[in-house]
Chain A
């Protein structure tokens, strides 16, 4: 969430109340992109014969030209302009202003000589000091007001630090790159895997490795700032609250950006810069991107992302012949993977698989991923859910994990779920899965059971499950079949809510 910038903008130019006729001198301001405010506007003469008014004013900083905005006096309260005098120069004097007979208000505005104009000064608008509205009609010369980088204002860069969900695709199917929501950047923050594995299989743990060719545990962050180069007297700073996180130039590490200390001044070649965050050994930390004044150190804008080590892994197993993908290959027919994608967006470390990666002994790719997560990435919580044969594979995987606890290490299976689970001793196995996954802390079982007659597939209740829902007996699920139950919103939402309740990220 951007901090400072918005608040600072609200504080701009509280002191310009009299700028219509008197203004407040600002002196020389640092050079910046857009013109500031004209001050000291005075009428220095009036030609009775011609009606010309002579003016003097202090030019706006960074102005390449100036123009006069004027309107009927009765419209001054609404700042309704009816005319312009274009290109009056930058001398600070003008002798030919003649709006015509009657009573008028006017002011001088700095511009860049092309199409951008600066401040119209401030006035009490609705009792609050605020910038006067710009002329939107521009009857004589067209300008667009830009106060974002005004030369006479406090430096208020547009600044943002954003993080993305962990990289995927090495074991389970890849998810699309997904940003952590603005509202989640501090609470709960961005999850990052502890980097204790050996992705490049060079015999060295990745946290101790310099460059890791196949590294997949760093979290992408994006720093955005405008302007890319701060004005004199300001700098952009990246800092961390402690060494639980390290910042690198590339997904494969590259060069370390934030070391050996906890802060570094950054330069930008453009408005965006991508870096990567590593969690070497666990623990949380904040990463702060700020613009600050030098040498005072006063922060004028900042953004913060909280990073925490992921402590769980979620395994999603589809039904027979369902191929995991994001977006789902069949958007209305792959509910298991829709659920996996939702959980990934929420920040869970999700691995989605074809259920056949789990053999009937539980061995295979999903098992290896969970074991690696527990042994090398500090994971201690496991969740597994699956549809149809994926339900059977859920049991097979849980059984193997439970049987090999002594070898694997410490972990708990916090949540499991079946969606019309069918045993998966082979692709031809059609028996309903009725076994409770061993040692699961919470098991949800959604199944359909319309009688299960000739050539019908059915799930069944699971003895010992914390939740058995026969959807056929519900008001909303009476027409669901084995082939549609995995897409029912009530089923998917039910499992989502339960998983979120029982599984920490």
Chain B
């Protein structure tokens, strides 16, 4: 079994190397493991798990190794956590992150450039890091910090962040976008009310209520309207809702959103 395990591991490493070369362009921005930093992180983790007295010294050494480039250190911690294989590594790693007290800016600036290119494991670590910003106390997300960041470059919002926001909560993301792009296509009161109805129905459905016969046409009607809206963030909301609730989609709506001029909208509904 051990030999077989080594063989499998060797094959996987070889395969990973090949894939890395083949997809060099796509992975050019992927963070790379720094063996020295990884070794230092592991030492701190072991010290924490064993309750060793030198854990304070070890984490201080790690902090100094990060020096002024704390974003790189955070990325190395994310990579370490991506490969963690137990509660010991995961929770001790989280303790390190907490102790090093990264600011929301540091977290966002570290994660954002790599968010869309990350594989599922690393993306999971990244989104959990972002959750410490937008759901510090759990519950529904609070995107106000992101809004201030997006407002700095309103005409070119970072797609990775927008995608993340809609992925976590389409409703909260739409509300943020309405605040940011309020000068854009305006919502009429009636439309806003309809949207409120839709969000209420969606929340009830998420809680466990089945669609009632009158619900479906109402929902589809509002989503149909949103999918044609001039505001990309509203079309993106419709796309996000349809992705979560495929039974609400109509062929026409899906076709329209798949050929949307906005890449975010298009990508969200593409299979």
- Cα-based distance from A397 to B84 in the complex (angstroms): 25
Q: Is the interface of B mostly helix, strand, loop or mixed?
A: helix
Is B98 among interface residues, defined by CB-CB distance under 8 A? yes
Contact partners of B241 in chain A: CB under 8 A: none
- Cα-based distance from A219 to B80 in the complex (angstroms): 43
Listed stretches B22-30, B130-138, B150-158, B173-181; interface member: B130-138
Is B1 among interface residues, defined by CB-CB distance under 8 A? no
Contact partners of A322 in chain B: CB under 8 A: 86-87
Listed stretches B191-199, B202-210, B212-220, B228-236; interface member: B202-210
**Contact indicator A388/B91 (Cβ below 8 Å):** yes
A360 touches which of B59, B139, B204, B209 (Cβ 8 Å)? B139
Contact partners of B34 in chain A: CB under 8 A: none
Listed stretches B10-18, B48-56, B63-71, B109-117; interface member: B48-56
- Closest Cβ–Cβ distance, residue B23 to chain A (whole Å): 27
Q: Which of B90-138 contact A (CB under 8 A)?
A: 90-91, 94-95, 97-99, 124-125, 128-129, 131-132, 135-138
Contact partners of A470 in chain B: CB under 8 A: none
Most B Cβ at <10 Å: residue of A363, A428, A429: A428
Is A481 among interface residues, defined by CB-CB distance under 8 A? yes
Contact string against B for A residues 411-429, beta-carbon threshold 8 Å, 1 for contact and 0 otherwise: 0000000000011111111
Contact partners of A360 in chain B: CB under 8 A: 131, 135, 138-139
Known contacts A375-B208, A455-B56, A455-B99; A321 and B135 CB within 8 A of each other: no
- Closest Cβ–Cβ distance, residue B30 to chain A (whole Å): 20
Kindly count the residue-residue contacts between A and B in the assembled complex, taking CB atoms under 8 Å apart: 101
**Contact indicator A456/B51 (Cβ below 8 Å):** yes
- Cα-based distance from A68 to B56 in the complex (angstroms): 89
Contact partners of B140 in chain A: CB under 8 A: 361
**Contact indicator B208/A482 (Cβ below 8 Å):** no
- Cα-based distance from A404 to B137 in the complex (angstroms): 20
20 new A-B contacts, CB < 8 A, other than A360-B131, A425-B135, are A320-B90, A320-B94, A321-B84, A321-B85, A321-B87, A321-B90, A360-B139, A408-B207, A425-B132, A425-B139, A426-B131, A427-B128, A427-B131, A428-B129, A428-B131, A430-B91, A454-B55, A455-B48, A457-B91, A482-B87
Closest 5 CB pairs of A and B: A425-B138, A360-B138, A426-B131, A371-B208, A319-B87
Interface, chain B (partner A; CB < 8 A): 48-49, 51, 55-56, 59, 81, 84-91, 94-95, 97-99, 124-125, 128-129, 131-132, 135-140, 204, 206-209
